[in-house]
Structure 1
């Protein structure tokens, strides 16, 4: 548990410098937290506030001293830099002034010599203008010819596109007709296969009926032969009986 204790002003000042080194500017909460974590000591906010006020005065004096030392070090450097910059700017200004004066002088000389060569320049300019005019007319005629050729090509292109459209329509119709023909052919093939199957069944049925008829005819002939044999046997028996009776009759008459 934190204990109450008096903390010396020097200790508070040392803590302020320590917090400043840790990039934390001293205040009452930070100092109270510092001593609480260090050894658990606590003191009144008034004590901390008075110590911070004294330390801030010391810190201001320290800053002023640092600024003075920095000024003593950097002052000569800034002065030397200022002199060098001033000299360089003056030299650059002199060079630019001389350059401008020479440019104006060359401009005047060029103007004076320009009057002397103006006539020849105009002649050359007129010649160049005539040449350009002829070239322009030539290019215009070529452009007109190209325009006409392009018109013919465009017309031919439209005709070809129309023909292609007609051919495309015909091809599509033929493809449609071919598709229908293929479907009809496939259906005919299916129907033909069915007919072949039915024909095979009919042939099988015909063969079966022919066999059955042949068997029946054979059976009927066998039955008829058997009946004829029985009838012949009975006829023979009757004939034999008749003959026997006749012999008996002739025997009794004698």
Structure 2
């Protein structure tokens, strides 16, 4: 692959961010072209989402007890301050859990649904014209990717949780950080298939992401925000695979030109 340089026509970061979000919109638009292929991607997403949602509901039910258990030092505090500390702790824990659920959903869905998402990826590549790349690691590569994504997601969750403990602004700061970090991780994972299939090594993938950081982030943040909508994760997953394929193809062709 040619060196992952900057695009031929430089774009401002906000514009590139919006282009990344538009890549996801193009992924949704692919429903009109190959509805059968896209619909198949709903199956693994629905299975994984059901399991993770059950876990998140269980956490929500147990959250008050968990917060009390980790903040015993606030038992003797005045009611107002004890409440503030415990609300902050609960918000931080819930935000961290959402980060873990988002990255786990993506990792597990891509792993479980490997054959389905491979069909979507190939359909997008074929629709765009030219030969469909034949590289890729198959199921076992998806297992390793899933483990790596979940591990990085845990670190992102920890960072978001710690920021969530900052007085007054912690809730907002932690939430924004969680969305940004999760979006970056999602963009990284979702674009890996199309890049690996083209023989792009880890070093070149990192350089490409750095050169187009705003676009990758825009795509990932848009995906993450869609995941937060009820049933949004299930509906978005096929579009995210299609959109990430389009994003990679656009960037690789731009670099090669």
For the aligned pair, the TM-score class normalised by the smaller chain equals under 0.3
Larger relative contact order (Cα-Cα within 8 Å, sequence gap ≥ 6) = 2
**TM-score calculated relative to the size of structure 1:** 0.19
**TM-score calculated relative to the size of structure 2:** 0.18
